[in-house]
Amino acid sequence: MDKIVQYLTDNYGQQFADEKDSEIPDLIGSLNRLELIELRYRLFNEGRKLEIANNGKQSLFWLQNCFELIDKYMFRRHQVLFSPGTDILESISDLLKQAQKSLDICVFTITDERLATEIWNCQQRGIIVRIITDDDKMFDHGSAIKDLNKAGIPVKIDHSRYHMHHKFGIIDSRIVFTGSFNWTYSASSHNQENLLITSNFEIVNQYAEQYEVLWKEMFWL
């Protein structure tokens, strides 16, 4: 965030015409909702300082340009996908590859080795990974749950005659993906399934809150 503020203040009074040739778009795109709020607050403070230093000249113009730049490059994603086909599988794989801090998975079952490998890769990159899954389904042929747990990924399960039937994931507390899609080969190859991906803050926050509720209620594998 310091680099963003420095870049914007260094270009006070300009249109930031060369921002595409800098790392600024990627830095802005990496910020979550709370970080974006903090950035705007810091820019307001910088705007006050610049207004005093420049006798009020161009401070509002500069601040407007700053906020337009943030709106241009801030992270947004809203998408709906369907199977059979590889669109959902590839999209989930891409999302897991892009994870930078945390990955919370709450799914009925995981038997697709391609997705299991991506989860393991996240853990190897230092991403904080947690899994909630169904106690019965982890005994299915080909289930990857026990292997992921042995690799050091914390797993919690239900103890009920009913199912933990959720199918959603949260990445970096800023994007959620959810739908009917099970993490199985048949879901990609044969089943009629759907997946919704969104970065809407309110929706992501509701899923994150529910994940914490489930994590407290569930039992360690």
Q: Which residues are catalytic?
A: 165, 167, 172
Instruction: Please return the burial class of 93, using the count of CB atoms within 10 Å of its CB with bins 0-12, 13-18 and 19+.
Output: middle
**Per-residue DSSP letter, 109:** -
Instruction: Give the amino acid at 129.
Output: V
CA torsion angle 148 150 152 157 (round to 10): 60
**Per-residue DSSP letter, 11:** T
Exposure of 72 in the CB half-sphere (CA atoms within 13 A)? 12
Residue 39 tokens, joined? 């950035």
Helix-, strand-, coil-residue percentages of the chain, each rounded to 5: 50, 20, 30
Q: Widest CA span of the chain, in angstroms?
A: 72
Q: How would you classify the pairing of strands 175-179 and 102-107?
A: unpaired
CB 193 within 8 A of CB 91: no
